[in-house]
Chain A
């Protein structure tokens, strides 16, 4: 039995966290973080969860607190954004390298300077290689659903890695949408009891976390981490199947929209995918075979599956809501290009940087990209491989 509500993305994520009822949360619930943690701390104050809430003096400490609590043997979560994630940087690697199943909601916001906390993927993209799993969410429903599934993925005994659940700042985090909540009991049963692995607080079996690992072993640990990452996709898909049983909602490694018979397509993350789908429908109405691919699991990146889904297209535009300064292309483009590299026959690829610092992504931006793709598919000629769109000259 689900309940339909009208809530913001932040409320939806906070409610998912209430339903999961973690043992410990360590957070710095002030801007640039959103009101996810503010809402969650009121659940703590009102006795609606049994979570031990640690309010710390910085985001660095917030993640340190999560690392300690998770190593101690608790189910742990936190939330952050923007500069907050940047300040956690060092600890992100400690969490993943120590294989701690922490769940963190990341409301994607721009990085300073210039100071800006609007929707932008620079924060999450900056942390894409820190050994965490990243799930990206188009809307509040997906953010809610991903948050609940994230605990199962992180805590899976073959995985034990931290998971970031990404949703767009303001566009999703602060806008009200219709979403369906699961019953508390359903969520509780779905996530199940937390399973311990080498908890520090088991004094009968003393363990140490964070030892010095010299050149004779460091590389073996990195290789083992890479191996665990390669097991993530199957686990994500299995957990999504279980989730579908209680929610009726389907999830995979990525979503495809009218892609099977498409000749041109866009690849885009999070909320802008919604806008793009509407424009794709308009193109389809005009008889143009357009489609879309929206990654959900961005780390580990499902190279084979994505390459396989895109290889039959004639032209693809990858839209990035973050730039990689000094690199030729945006971060999403680089991975899409790599996924297609092994194929002899593959689409022409272009890259557009859009929506930085909360700049609106409008239907006309999707139209611009798609019209260009129509032209490329017809003539094989590309005017610009990479450009900023929606920017004043």
Chain B
């Protein structure tokens, strides 16, 4: 993409289209990666509610995994996940391991 010159930028860096965060992939910031362990999932969707991004994928009302293009690895989903009988359905793993 050709970068715009200073005469063409929007005043005050205001973004004038909705949903433009989709164009900015932030997954590379991650140091830890959430891993989904489906057998421990009770489908409470806490992870989806608490994720500060939009990185928890839900299909037909069910948690189905993560969108690693945007997941920053904050670990909130893993912390909030109640899991089944004390076994978490989300655990954080170090990237690159």
Q: Does B22 contact A (CB under 8 A)?
A: no
* Residue in B closest to A96 when the chains form the complex, CB atoms: B12
* Residue in A closest to B12 when the chains form the complex, CB atoms: A99
Segment among A55-63, A137-145, A201-209, A288-296 that sits at the interface with chain B: A201-209
Within the complex, the shortest CB–CB distance from B15 to chain A, in Å, comes to 4
Is the beta-carbon distance between B6 and A98 smaller than 8 angstroms?
no
Is the beta-carbon distance between B3 and A209 smaller than 8 angstroms?
no
Is the beta-carbon distance between A98 and B12 smaller than 8 angstroms?
yes
* Chain A residues near B5 (CB-CB < 8 A): 220
Segment among A104-112, A211-219, A372-380 that sits at the interface with chain B: A211-219
Is the beta-carbon distance between A207 and B16 smaller than 8 angstroms?
yes
Q: How long is the Cα–Cα vector from A163 to B96 in the complex, in angstroms?
A: 51
The one of B3, B12, B13, B17 in contact with A216, judged by C-beta atoms closer than 8 angstroms, is B3
Is the beta-carbon distance between A206 and B18 smaller than 8 angstroms?
yes
Chain B 5-61 residues near chain A, CB threshold 8 A? 5-7, 9, 11-18, 20, 24
* Residue in A closest to B26 when the chains form the complex, CB atoms: A212
Is the beta-carbon distance between A198 and B14 smaller than 8 angstroms?
yes
Q: Does A97 contact B (CB under 8 A)?
A: yes
Q: Does A224 contact B (CB under 8 A)?
A: yes
Is the beta-carbon distance between B9 and A220 smaller than 8 angstroms?
yes
Using A216-B3, A227-B6 as known contacts, say yes or no to A221 and B16 having CB atoms under 8 A apart.
no
* Binary per-residue interface labels of chain A (132-165) against chain B in the complex, 1 for a CB within 8 Å, 0 otherwise: 0000000000000000000000000000100000
* Residue in B closest to A197 when the chains form the complex, CB atoms: B11
Using A220-B9, A224-B9 as known contacts, say yes or no to A211 and B4 having CB atoms under 8 A apart.
no
Is the beta-carbon distance between A98 and B18 smaller than 8 angstroms?
no
Within the complex, the shortest CB–CB distance from B17 to chain A, in Å, comes to 8
* Residue in B closest to A219 when the chains form the complex, CB atoms: B6
Q: Does A280 contact B (CB under 8 A)?
A: no
* Chain A residues near B24 (CB-CB < 8 A): 212
Q: How long is the Cα–Cα vector from A212 to B27 in the complex, in angstroms?
A: 16
The one of A97, A198, A224 in contact with B6, judged by C-beta atoms closer than 8 angstroms, is A224
* Chain A residues near B17 (CB-CB < 8 A): 206
Is the beta-carbon distance between B20 and A208 smaller than 8 angstroms?
yes
Is the beta-carbon distance between B14 and A209 smaller than 8 angstroms?
yes
* Residue in B closest to A158 when the chains form the complex, CB atoms: B11
* Chain A residues near B3 (CB-CB < 8 A): 216-217
Is the beta-carbon distance between A217 and B9 smaller than 8 angstroms?
yes
Is the beta-carbon distance between A223 and B6 smaller than 8 angstroms?
yes
Within the complex, the shortest CB–CB distance from B16 to chain A, in Å, comes to 5
Q: How long is the Cα–Cα vector from A103 to B38 in the complex, in angstroms?
A: 56
Other than the given A160-B11, A206-B18, A210-B13, 16 more pairs (CB < 8 A) read A98-B14, A99-B12, A160-B12, A198-B11, A206-B17, A207-B14, A207-B15, A208-B20, A209-B15, A213-B13, A217-B9, A220-B5, A220-B9, A221-B6, A221-B9, A228-B11
Within the complex, the shortest CB–CB distance from A201 to chain B, in Å, comes to 14
* Chain A residues near B7 (CB-CB < 8 A): 224, 227
Q: Does A100 contact B (CB under 8 A)?
A: yes
* Residue in B closest to A98 when the chains form the complex, CB atoms: B12
Is the beta-carbon distance between B15 and A208 smaller than 8 angstroms?
yes
* Chain B residues near A211 (CB-CB < 8 A): 13, 15
Is the beta-carbon distance between A208 and B6 smaller than 8 angstroms?
no
Within the complex, the shortest CB–CB distance from B54 to chain A, in Å, comes to 15
Q: How long is the Cα–Cα vector from A207 to B9 in the complex, in angstroms?
A: 15
* Chain B residues near A209 (CB-CB < 8 A): 12-15
* Chain B residues near A207 (CB-CB < 8 A): 14-16
Within the complex, the shortest CB–CB distance from B1 to chain A, in Å, comes to 10
Within the complex, the shortest CB–CB distance from A332 to chain B, in Å, comes to 29
Within the complex, the shortest CB–CB distance from A220 to chain B, in Å, comes to 4
Which 9 interchain pairs have the tightest Cβ spacing?
Answer: A99-B12, A206-B18, A223-B6, A220-B6, A208-B15, A98-B12, A99-B11, A198-B14, A224-B6
* Chain A residues near B4 (CB-CB < 8 A): 217, 220
Q: How long is the Cα–Cα vector from A86 to B18 in the complex, in angstroms?
A: 35
Within the complex, the shortest CB–CB distance from B37 to chain A, in Å, comes to 33
Chain A 145-187 residues near chain B, CB threshold 8 A? 160
* Chain A residues near B11 (CB-CB < 8 A): 99, 160, 197-198, 224, 228
Using A216-B3, A220-B6, A224-B6 as known contacts, say yes or no to A205 and B16 having CB atoms under 8 A apart.
yes
Q: How long is the Cα–Cα vector from A205 to B16 in the complex, in angstroms?
A: 7
Q: How long is the Cα–Cα vector from A99 to B6 in the complex, in angstroms?
A: 15
Within the complex, the shortest CB–CB distance from A41 to chain B, in Å, comes to 29
* Chain A residues near B20 (CB-CB < 8 A): 208
* Chain B residues near A213 (CB-CB < 8 A): 13
